[in-house]
Amino acid sequence: MRRIASTLLASLSVLLAVFCSAPAAFAQQPVVVPPSPPVPAQDTLLAPPPDSLVVPRFVLIDSVSYRFIGDGNFSWGNVDRSLVVLRTEAVFGGPAITITTNPRFAYGRQNQLLAEREWYTDMNIEVLKQNKIYGFAMGTLERSNLRRIDLRQLAGAGVGFKLLKNERHELSFTNAIIHESTNFRERPTIVTQRNSARLRGKHSFQNKRIRLSHTTFFLPSLEDFSNLRWNTIISVELPLTRWVTIRSNFENTYESIVEPGRKKNDTRVTFGFSVGNKR
């Protein structure tokens, strides 16, 4: 009995030693969480910073207005006369500059003989025209069978002033220094510097049912004050629709130096219509 009891005590001692020396075998293993992948840094070249400003795109021309004009007059009897005048008015506007051109062509016959065959083209570039005071440059080419001018060229620059501008009336004055060359058929070519003063106005009446426009140029030579030119154009228009207008045109031109046998003053009255979106 003693031997059996000793054996049992020895077995219990061995089991107790095993449990005390290896407690980790029965402990819960920790859970390992894999690291999250790194977040790539934002590409500063592709994405602008949130506080940056968007620069607007520069636009040179943002509006175009135009119209085509046909004028004329005809008479029969003791004097057979026909005159046709074709004009174009175009305006290309932008935030900084405004470009305008007004080419025209006139053809007239009297008693079956050629009297008038004239063409004229110009270009005006105005800078910051929305201001009350603005700058501009101009250039024209002209040829006249009536005044026997083979070619007239002029170019110059100056400053403009807005005298009046509201819903019904516009009035402006410009002054420029220009260089002019005139090739006559018989007279020697005349080259001179001129002062070009221009008064231009647009007016509307009767709730814009009647429109009046006028332009006057006064061009004395800076070298010889007896060398003088002027030109006045007055137009009365009655709009029929948004696009079509009937009109009458009065034009007076004076030149102190003309070809032999030519008069210094010419006056022309015509009637016609215009088509376009320019007002």
pLDDT digits (tens, 9 = 90+) for 241-256: 989 999 999 999 999 9
Residue 267 belongs to a domain with what CATH number?
2.40.128.130
Total domain count, the chain: 1
Q: Is residue 240 domain-resident?
A: yes
Euclidean distance between CA atoms 48 and 40, whole angstroms? 17
**H helices then E strands: how many in the chain?**
1, 13
pLDDT digits (tens, 9 = 90+) for 159-216: 999 999 999 999 999 999 999 999 999 999 999 999 999 999 999 999 889 999 999 9
pLDDT tier for residue 37 given thresholds of 50, 70 and 90: low
Q: What is the pLDDT of residue 42?
A: 52
Q: Is residue 1 domain-resident?
A: no
Q: Is residue 70 domain-resident?
A: yes
**Domain span holding position 156:** 63-276
pLDDT tier for residue 259 given thresholds of 50, 70 and 90: very high
Count of other CB atoms within 10 angstroms of residue 174: 20
Residues 6+ apart with CB under 8 A from 154: 138, 139, 140, 178, 179, 180, 181, 194
Residues 6+ apart with CB under 8 A from 228: 219, 220, 221, 254, 255, 256
Q: How many CA atoms lie within 13 A of 236 on its CB side?
A: 7
Q: Is residue 201 domain-resident?
A: yes
Q: Measured at the alpha carbon of residue 77, what is the angle toward residues 108 and 235, in degrees to the nearest 5?
A: 45
Q: Is residue 176 domain-resident?
A: yes
Q: What is the pLDDT of residue 25?
A: 47
Q: Is residue 129 domain-resident?
A: yes
Q: Is residue 89 domain-resident?
A: yes
Q: Is residue 32 domain-resident?
A: no
